[in-house]
Amino acid sequence: MMFGRSRFLAKSVSRNISSVNTRRLASTKSLKETIQEIVPAKQEQLKKLKAEHGQTVVGQVTVENIIGGMRGIKAMLWDSSVLDPMEGIRFHGMSIPEAQKALPPAPGGKEMTAEGMFWLLLTGQVPTAEQTQQLSLELAERAELPKFVEELIDSLPNTLHPMTQLGMGVAALNHDSAFQSAYERGIKKTEYWTYAYEDCMNLVAKLPTIAARIYRNIYQPKKSIAAIDKSKDLVGNYVNQLGFGHNENFTEYLRLYIALHADHEGGNASAHTAHLVGSTLADPFISYAAGLYSLAGPLHGLANQEVLRWQISMLSEVGNNFSKDDIKKYLWATLNKGQVVPGYGHGVLRNPDPRFVALQAFCKGHEDLMASPMVKLVAETAEVAPDVLKEHGKTKNPFPNVDAASGCVLYHYGLTQFKYYTVIFGISRALGAATQLVWARALGLPIERPKSFSIDALEKLAKN
């Protein structure tokens, strides 16, 4: 029975690939063909690096690193993005402003798209507008959910956290995993990446559909969900299924939000978790479901909703006609209670987060946002808070991170359900995680297995 299922899935994948190839314009290469050209060169680059510099020391591990959650230890390969403490994130060497300028927008839009960012992360190349539109169509054709996944999501109580539901929906897609099916019937290691790619494409395509269904079930249960529109990009369909398709400003904001959040190197908890589970050769659906549950922790992806709660509380205290002195007093009141100022500081960054800067620039370009007291409060807090936090003296990075700005715009446009915000984060972060799951298989990366120590053993090691 298992082999019959494997043959069925293999034929299904083959038909899917064939239909995409026949649809493709002769003047462009598809995403998969582009990756296929790059794989041999990347494999050779890694092989040469290992042979020539395998024993070169690139870092130093201290007892504090080991006890402190391995923070800052140089121990992971993640090719698509690098996070510099001073410059912020770069995608294959490209800064956020450079990516915004280079990546093509959706038809009629201005902001870079999820498709463009996904292409850049996977290939290191900037796609043409035609290639991103072709990719949008392919993702739309993959976006429908299996009936059993719809029934699973619909059966869940609306009191169950949206992130819990999202992880369950993604894990259930494992039922139709091309990688798992191919592995069970036996394939060459050199072919692993092609099946991981198929799963990752389906993951990226279906994730917004799952997320929209969860939103409508919990918050708008009496309204039907719009069908996938194959003329729209990934975010355009997602916003439409959420019920906000009438608001183009909201759609443009979410395009920017998802592109900005797509990848933030591999050391953050959700990216690392997906990579770790994937290193066991678990399929991409299981791997990313694990990453989603890591993202659901309050020290990681839930941070933006905590920021917004604090901002709403401040606005209710200082009123709509606030001054910078009002903000300063509220900041000191927060700190004097022994609480942190949410949305400020970062585990790596030591300058303002470029993602925060990009979101603020978006707000400045839209009159409706600049008229919002909440958006104004966020902007002016960013001017006041760094000096207060420097004076307080307990924050390594007193500057705003992306969470300081991301929630207020969602709230302004009517998506006011805080618990759902991390779901949107989960959709965007899938682009980076999926990229690494494909390349980990293409490069033949091994299972992760760091060495651990007991306290006694660590003491002995340190003394010797």
What amino acid occupies position 99?
A: A
Q: Whats the size of the chain, residue-wise?
A: 464
Contact between residue 284 and residue 199 where contact means Cβ atoms under 8 Å apart: yes
Angle between helices 248-260 and 234-242 (to 10 degrees): 120
Contact between residue 397 and residue 345 where contact means Cβ atoms under 8 Å apart: yes
**Tokens for 312?**
């709403």
CA dist 211 and 217 (Å) reads 10
Name every residue whose Cβ is closer than 8 Å to that of residue 391 and which is 6 or more positions away in sequence: none
Q: Nearest CA to 38 among 104, 95, 121?
A: 121
Contact between residue 264 and residue 301 where contact means Cβ atoms under 8 Å apart: no
Specify the DSSP class assigned to residue 142. Answer: H
Name every residue whose Cβ is closer than 8 Å to that of residue 130 and which is 6 or more positions away in sequence: 25, 27, 28
Using CB atoms within 10 Å of the CB of residue 340, give its burial: 0 to 12 exposed, 13 to 18 middle, 19+ buried: middle
Question: Which residues are catalytic, by number?
Answer: 300, 346, 403
CA dist 278 and 287 (Å) reads 5
Q: Which long-range contacts (CB under 8 A, 24 or more apart) does 270-275 make?
A: 270/294, 270/295, 270/300, 270/301, 270/426, 270/429, 270/433, 271/78, 271/429, 271/432, 271/433, 271/436, 272/76, 274/433, 274/436, 274/437, 275/76, 275/78, 275/433, 275/436, 275/437, 275/440, 275/448
Sign of the Cα torsion 376, 382, 387, 389 reads positive
